[in-house]
Structure 1
């Protein structure tokens, strides 16, 4: 049995953001059509070390994708000089049941999470969107930025973080990475209000427990991606925005309604009902639900992540590795 091991640099060499966006679109479409088997992730507490180990399995027959992502959250790892959220994708050959690839799960998560915002932006944002506001500069921020730049002709990016120094440093680093490639200006915003002003697209990728900007400031026609809130206690999207947006979409109803404070809070407050969700993004792709109808509609997309994106994207990366001879090989 041969197992291909793929790290971040190998994945970057053989697999593009455009391909990741397409993989997420395909994955969510199959999920919404009921053509995947994705149980809720299983969480094992490790109290002796103040950690948690999460297991996210999935099988998508039409994509020949089978596997499980193992994600751990061990905050004390920082004291040991290790990442606090290590992850590995274990890909399984759907014909034989043999493990066929081990993929850097931390990078895979960043890639598919950025790509799903790119997919939502491509499907829901105005075609001529020029101004992009990005809230948060953590590990997920780079892929979020690249994905939006990949699908829209953005000319100006305004980055906001609660730390002005982090925002400035991120803007400078991203200018080197993407400024010339996408012909875009990337700057640090001094305030949330400055970031949102005139923004056609807004992405929030923070761990905030309170809204990061005033929803009343979102202009007509704006598209908003909510990425950071993945627990009921996290709430980065303003309740006003959820309740006054023309359309609210999710990656999966099950995930968002059980895990994200962005929707759980307004539902608990009685200002929003689960039935008001316009649809899953996969339903729009499958033409089961309508998308944006005009340039004045405000659209919101909320994602909490799902293993269906991990296994489908992981399978596409593995196929690219086979085609291009990438990765290291372990033989059992």
Structure 2
């Protein structure tokens, strides 16, 4: 059994690799070439947390496994990761566990990459200004993914703590500023963040909208990442109901789990049949993409085990080729 930590994964798997893996995974899902039950979400109210169990299998990707991930927002106050996770990868031929890997970093990279995949498929090619809401554990890879697929020159970060947003902007400037030729700074308000934004990504655990959709400019692409329960609602109803096209990673996941769409549907202002398509359907040529530079597009993701198993399998294969990881036996 190969054990892979964060450094091992970084050494064998790039953001470009993850974006391609996510595109392939969502295409397999939308073509019915994977088995992905709706994840089990256990509420842990005593600690304001959730524990999720995400199994999946795809014969075409030779990928089988389960990710165990928890979401504990208050961990930030304890100096701990707010989204700890472990990935258990199985040999699809024998059913034996072949790898354990850092699911926390896997979650970060594949979740960032799915926003990158959506932006690559849906956002304007000339996108220059990026607004990001959220500065937690998921934020860095969300930023890296967008910088990887579009020629972004300005990044405006907004969070509930201006001090955290400023510290995040400083760290990201040191890491990505010179590499991508980008200016990164903390916005003082939500309105300032989205002003002139070509791409907006929200990765928060908010139960109320984090920006005003009426101020979104024409041609903007929006990624909704953080809402994973029916009560979470970081993208406002106006954005969903007035977007030219609305996409999801999986209909099953979003329509059962995300308040961003569930709430407008309950209010009668939106309906499931107004979803333009799954991102995998667009990639497979079965749903339309952007056809005009003026269209506002929205992509909502709640995550799917198909992303985890395909990324994990490719990480494992790359690690074997490069001799990375530690070997353990029961």
Q: Say whether the fold is shared (TM-score over 0.5).
A: yes
> Where in structure 2 are the equivalents of 1:126-137 lying within 5 Å?
126-137=124-135
CA distance in 2 between partners of 1:138 and 1:80 (Å): 13
- 1:285 match: 283
- 1:168 match: 166
User: In the alignment, is residue 220 of structure 1 matched against residue 241 of structure 2?
Assistant: no
> Where in structure 2 are the equivalents of 1:232-247 lying within 5 Å?
232-247=230-245
Q: What TM-score does the superposition give when structure 1 sets the normalisation length? A: 0.95
- 2:53 match: 55
Q: What TM-score does the superposition give when structure 2 sets the normalisation length? A: 0.96
Q: Would you say the 8 A contact 2:81–2:137 is kept in 1?
A: no
- 1:314 match: 312
Q: Would you say the 8 A contact 2:83–2:137 is kept in 1?
A: no
Kindly provide the CA deviation profile for residues 278-297 of structure 1, in whole angstroms up to 9, marking residues without a partner as x: 00000000000010001010
**Helix, strand or coil for the counterpart of 2:144?**
helix
Tell me how far 1:238 sits from its aligned partner: 1.2
2:147 to 146, 149, 152: 149
- 2:269 match: 271
CA distance in 1 between partners of 2:186 and 2:241 (Å): 29
CA distance in 2 between partners of 1:122 and 1:115 (Å): 10
- 1:211 match: 209
Distance change >3 Å, CA 119–CA 47, structure 1 → 2: closer
Q: Would you say the 8 A contact 2:228–2:257 is kept in 1?
A: yes
Q: Would you say the 8 A contact 2:233–2:260 is kept in 1?
A: yes
User: In the alignment, is residue 248 of structure 1 matched against residue 246 of structure 2?
Assistant: yes
CA distance in 2 between partners of 1:328 and 1:278 (Å): 44
- Structure 2 unaligned segments of length 5 or more: list them: none
> Where in structure 2 are the equivalents of 1:27-106 lying within 5 Å?
27-44=25-42, 53-73=51-71, 83=81, 85-106=83-104
Higher mean Cα deviation, 258-267 or 66-75?
66-75
Distance change >3 Å, CA 284–CA 79, structure 1 → 2: closer
CA distance in 2 between partners of 1:84 and 1:267 (Å): 30
Kindly provide the CA deviation profile for residues 254-305 of structure 1, in whole angstroms up to 9, marking residues without a partner as x: 1101111100111111100010000000000000001000101000000000
Tell me how far 1:71 sits from its aligned partner: 1.9
Distance change >3 Å, CA 73–CA 218, structure 1 → 2: closer
CA distance in 1 between partners of 2:68 and 2:264 (Å): 31
For these two proteins, the number of residue pairs brought into alignment is 330
